[in-house]
Amino acid sequence: MADFRETLIHRWLAAGDAGDLDEFDDLLLADAVIHAPRGLSTTSREAEKAVWREALVAMPDLRHDVQEVLVGEDVEMARVVVTGTMAAAFAGVDGSGRSFRMDQAVIAHLRDGRIAEAWEIADVGALEDQTASIES
């Protein structure tokens, strides 16, 4: 694949960042299972959309910068840098107004041209350290 922007992982994360959650209909199976840290795992496309809606309210500048993608016959794996600002509380992280940068890996199993199951592995320790409110 010449351009990793054509991969399902890249398209999924880019659509989420843009708030184009209807695009998930073309990218995720209806019963897609997404394993995510901090209690954000989902078992359907609609539940995944709901998580993204909440994330975009809490982090309106949320961005997933895909660094590279490895593609197999029925799997994609990506190395991603996630950035944003915690404007409101989300997934147990306070809405401190502080910005963050965290590394993430995403592994997606594909079926019928869509994501069937994915694992998000994220450096949540870095997220917590960077967004913690500063005590005076």
Using the predicted structure, report yes or no on whether residue 58 has a pLDDT greater than 60: yes
Is the pLDDT higher at 112 or at 123? 112
- What CATH number did the domain enclosing 63 receive? 3.10.450.50
Q: Is residue 136 part of a domain?
A: no
Q: Which domain holds residue 35?
A: 4-131
Q: Is residue 30 part of a domain?
A: yes
Q: Is residue 53 part of a domain?
A: yes
Collapsing DSSP to helix, strand or coil, 66 comes out as: strand
Using the predicted structure, report yes or no on whether residue 1 has a pLDDT greater than 60: no
Q: How many domains does one find in the chain? A: 1
- In a 13 Å sphere around the CA of 119, the CA atoms on its Cβ side amount to 6
CA distance 29 to 9: 13
Using the predicted structure, report yes or no on whether residue 135 has a pLDDT greater than 70: no
CA distance 90 to 16: 16
pLDDT in tens, 28-38: 999 999 999 99
CA distance 136 to 125: 22
CA distance 39 to 14: 22
Q: Is residue 54 part of a domain?
A: yes
- pTM comes to 0.93
- Residue 2's pLDDT is 53
